[in-house]
A = this chain, B = another copy of it.
Amino acid sequence: MNAHTMIKLSGLIPAVFTPFDKSGAINLPQIRPYADKLAADGADGVFVCGSTGECTSMTVAERKSVLEAWVKAAAGRMRVIAHVGGTCQADCIELARHAAGQGVDAVGAIAPFYFKPASVEELVDFYKPIAAAVAPIPFYTYHMPSVTGVNLPMKEFLEKGSRAIPNLNGIKFTSNNFMEMLECIRLEDGRFDILNGFDEMLLCGMAAGARGGVGSTYNYSLSTYRNLYDAFLAGDIERARAFQQESVDIVHVIIRHGGGVRGGKAIMNHLGIDCGDCRLPFAPYTESEMRRLGEELDRIGFAK
């Protein structure tokens, strides 16, 4: 194990949206002001080209250009974690090599989600050359069984995976199986870095021992989570609960208004950070949807 793979991505890391323009093309110039906002908000990092960034709706070339823009825009103010996952291992390796060349702080990859690994071994073997392509930069698996349908035991994955993948550093853990999260956090005296993935349950993730989170709602509600995070570490759990409730309120709004990606992007637009529309299969946000979203945000007292 080397210095690189000892890092812990503590703190709050927005999974950033990918801004598109009216024509549907990537709006690269918009990434700089977006990064400025997150840096001003105090984000500890950005998770680029993840689900929130609609990675599966972009070509390999587009994913590269988006990552390049974020590395440049982050400008050392925030860590940059590149998501390079997909169903095609060759594409993932290419993206991994590219990410390493950009000097990112860490790399993550989702489990292949069309054909699904039937065993921990198949998942480890899938990841092995991808992680090798970025070594010694730390590699994370992105665990999200509700979306991928891949629900292999993560403790076993860390045990077997770390033997085959020296730079395996942890898990972006997007699951509400906190039993599993706890044992991954405690494995080998806390060797691995387990990042909380469900923003609306960050409090539970922190109770289980997580010290970092990656989430899409951090993009527009970072102060809520910062308050939760600080209160928890200060031992004021009742205060942390109040901020978790604030988070739950906003999550209910996005559930009712298009979901985490489509609705979340609309909130960014509402805040004046132009992210454009999603790509299909997400329909463009309509004006009347935008108006109703604004009304609901007002209703819950969402600070613009």
Binding site for B on A (CB under 8 A): 51, 54, 56-60, 62, 87-91, 111-119, 121-123, 125-126, 147, 149, 176-179, 182-183, 186, 198, 200-201, 203-204, 206-209, 235, 237-238, 240-241, 244-245, 248, 251, 261, 279-283
Q: B182 near A244 (CB under 8 angstroms)?
A: yes
Q: B280 near A125 (CB under 8 angstroms)?
A: yes
Q: B59 near A123 (CB under 8 angstroms)?
A: no
**Chain B residues positioned under 8 Å from A123 (CB to CB):** 281
Supposing A178-B176, A182-B248, A209-B241 touch, asked if A283 and B54 sit within 8 A by C-beta, the answer is no
Q: A241 near B182 (CB under 8 angstroms)?
A: yes
Query: A280 to B86, alpha carbons, bound, how many Å?
Result: 12
Closest residue on chain B to residue A117 by CB atoms: B281
Q: Which of B89, B200, B261, B280 contacts A126 (CB 8 A)?
A: B280
28 pairs, CB–CB < 8 Å, chain A vs chain B: A56-B88, A57-B89, A58-B88, A59-B88, A60-B60, A111-B281, A112-B281, A115-B261, A116-B281, A117-B280, A117-B281, A122-B281, A123-B281, A125-B280, A176-B177, A179-B251, A186-B241, A186-B245, A201-B204, A203-B208, A204-B207, A204-B208, A206-B207, A207-B207, A207-B241, A208-B241, A209-B241, A235-B235
Name the prevailing secondary structure of the A interface residues.
Answer: helix
Q: B244 near A280 (CB under 8 angstroms)?
A: no
State the Cβ distance, A46 to closest chain B Cβ, in Å.
Answer: 20
State the Cβ distance, A279 to closest chain B Cβ, in Å.
Answer: 6
Q: Which of B125, B198, B237, B282 contacts A122 (CB 8 A)?
A: B282
